[in-house]
Amino acid sequence: MKTIPLVLILLWGAAHAACLPDGESRDSLRALKAVNWQLDDAARRTALAQAMVDCLADADAELRDDLAFGALQQWMRAGQLDADGVRRIAQRLLPQLSASPDPVGFAAPFAALTLAEVARLDRLKPIFSPNERDALLGAAADYLRNLRDYRGFDPRQGWRHGVAHGADLLMQLALNPALDKFQLDRILDAVAHQVVPAAEHFYIYGEGDRLARPVLFVARRGLHSTDEWTAWFTALANAAKPVEGQAPTQASLARLHDAKAFLWPVYAALQEGQDGALRAKLMPGVTAALRALP
């Protein structure tokens, strides 16, 4: 495990204080969490929501995940943040998806996870214009497509789950009927780049399952033909299968492992699901891809 430089520890400590408004503390947030974030004071709730956006990048797992994200998720799902407040949150988080490399590694994944809640809200009660929604899609697709930080769970610091959180954001966008086929293709392209990642990395934290979800919801939109799906799955298999006659390497084994970790959840969802038309459209490509992999 990497040693954390002292200067970063000091900066994290400063962030603990900076991301909470005057009059709030960790204990006051714990008290709110204990009552499922019920807060009748709208002004205090609004101030807290905006302040805790900064906590989403904190290295303290409780502050970042349990308290900051937990509060924002609850308030957005309960409709307790107004549209302007949610838009301000999105405007602050979007640049973090394309920020320069972050050695601490929490800012971008938790920006993606929180933006998934924003995208969910926009899907249920639109708050974005088409151009704003397309900008969110572009940032989300670029984030997942270009992601190279594959860290997952740390017993002291919690989750850095960029692939999964990026997939969650794309899933919420895929569910939005306002997206057209071209936009859905951007989702599929981003997912394909992480099904078989460029690095010699073996997924061990359920990334394949999470990547499968946006693909299945894109498929449920019904905008792609059987031939298009077969071509997409064939391309994945071609990127993952070993070169005939070459000895295994860590890279080739990782590609094979990660492709199967994606394809099997897709297969299971189709096989066990109730949508026969969806199964008929995707299954030829999925089964052909699985048969092509040793």
Domain spanning 82-292: CATH 1.25.40: yes
Considering only residues 196 and 12, tell me which one the structure prediction assigns the higher pLDDT: 196
pLDDT band (50, 70, 90) for residue 20: confident
271 phi/psi in degrees, rounded to 5: -65, -40
pLDDT band (50, 70, 90) for residue 81: very high
For residue 105, is it left (φ>0), alpha (ψ between -120 and 50) or beta? left
Q: Which pLDDT value is given to residue 103?
A: 83
Convert the pLDDT of each residue in 101-112 to its tens digit. Answer: 788 999 999 999
Convert the pLDDT of each residue in 122-142 to its tens digit. Answer: 999 999 999 999 999 999 999
Confidence check: pLDDT of 37 > 60:
yes
Confidence check: pLDDT of 265 > 80:
yes
Q: How far apart are the first and last CA of the chain?
A: 33
Question: Any idea where the domains of the chain sit in the sequence?
Answer: 82-292
The helix (H) or strand (E) run that includes residue 153 is strand 153-154
Confidence check: pLDDT of 16 > 70:
no
d(CA 200, CA 212): 20
Q: Which pLDDT value is given to residue 212?
A: 98
By mean pLDDT, which of 11-20, 168-177, 276-285 is the weakest? 11-20
Confidence check: pLDDT of 242 > 70:
yes
CA 165 to chain centre: 2
Q: Which of 155, 99, 172, 86 has the alpha carbon at shortest distance from 127? A: 86
Q: Which pLDDT value is given to residue 19?
A: 78
pLDDT band (50, 70, 90) for residue 18: low
Q: Which pLDDT value is given to residue 189?
A: 98
